[in-house]
Amino acid sequence: MIENIRKTLAKYWGYDNFLPLQEEAMACIARRRDSVVVLPTGGGKSLCFQAPAVAMSGLAVVVSPLISLMKDQVDALAQCGVPAGRIDSSISSEQRMTVLNGIRNNKFKLLYLAPERLVSDDFLQVLRKINLSFVAIDEAHCVSMWGHDFRPEYRQLGSLKRLFPGVTIAAYTATATEQVRRDIAEQLGLDKPKMLIGSFDRPNLVYKVRQRGSILKQVRDVLDRHSSESGIVYCIKRKDVDRMCAQLAHKGYSVAPYHAGMEDVDRKKSQEMFINEKVDTIVATIAFGMGIDKSNVRYVIHAGMPKSLEHYQQESGRAGRDGLEAECDLFYSGGDYGTWKFLMKDMQPEAQKIAMVKLSEMYSYCTGGICRHKTILRYFGQNLDNANCEACDVCLGELSHIDDALVTGQKILSCIARLDQRSGSNYTALVLTGSREKRIIENNHDTLSTYGLLSDYSKDTVHNWIEQLVGQDYIEKTGEYNVLTITEKGRRVLNGQETPRLLKPVKRPTRISRVAADSWDGVDHGLFEALRKLRKTLAGKKGVPAYVVFGDAALRDMARRRPSTPTGFLEVKGVGEMKSKQYGKTVLTAIKAYCTANSLETDVID
In eight-state DSSP terms, residue 9 is I
Q: What is the spatial distance between Cα 431 and Cα 19, in angstroms, rounded to a whole number?
A: 55
Q: What is the spatial distance between Cα 43 and Cα 84, in angstroms, rounded to a whole number?
A: 22
Q: What is the spatial distance between Cα 213 and Cα 282, in angstroms, rounded to a whole number?
A: 21
- Answer for the pair 549, 532: CB distance below 8 angstroms, yes or no: no
pLDDT of residue 394: 85
**Dihedral class, residue 595 (left if φ above 0, else alpha if ψ from -120 to 50, else beta):** alpha
Amino acid (one-letter) located at 149 = D
Q: Distances in Å between the alpha carbon of 558 and those of 227, 325, 515?
A: 22, 17, 19
CB contact set of 92 (below 8 Å; sequence gap of 6+) = none
Q: What is the spatial distance between Cα 111 and Cα 84, in angstroms, rounded to a whole number?
A: 6
Amino acid (one-letter) located at 347 = M
pLDDT of residue 506: 42
Name residues of the chain where pLDDT drops below 50.
505-510
Domain ranges of the chain: 2-197, 205-397, 401-505, 520-597
User: Given 3-state DSSP classes, what are the helix, strand and coil percentages for the chain, each rounded to the nearest 5?
Assistant: 50, 15, 40
Strand, helix or coil for residue 320? coil
**pLDDT one-digit tens code per residue, 73-97:** 898 899 889 999 999 888 888 998 9
Which CATH number fits the domain 401-505, given the four candidates 3.30.1380.10, 1.10.10.10, 1.20.1250.20, 1.10.3470.10?
1.10.10.10
pLDDT of residue 148: 65
- Helix boundaries (H) for 510-563: 514-519, 525-542, 546-549, 552-561
In eight-state DSSP terms, residue 142 is G
pLDDT of residue 431: 96
pLDDT of residue 507: 47
pLDDT of residue 513: 55
CATH fold, domain 520-597, is: DNA polymerase; domain 1 (1.10.150)
- Answer for the pair 355, 344: CB distance below 8 angstroms, yes or no: yes
DSSP string, 10-25: IIII---SPPTTHHHH
pLDDT of residue 147: 65
- Answer for the pair 545, 277: CB distance below 8 angstroms, yes or no: yes
Reported pTM: 0.67
Strand, helix or coil for residue 302? strand
CATH fold, domain 205-397, is: Rossmann fold (3.40.50)
CB contact set of 400 (below 8 Å; sequence gap of 6+) = 503, 504, 506
How many CA atoms, within 13 angstroms, populate the side-chain half-sphere of residue 53? 28
Q: What is the spatial distance between Cα 272 and Cα 291, in angstroms, rounded to a whole number?
A: 14
Q: Which CATH architecture has domain 2-197?
A: 3-Layer(aba) Sandwich (3.40)
Note whether 205-397 and 401-505 share their fold.
Answer: no
- Answer for the pair 468, 332: CB distance below 8 angstroms, yes or no: no
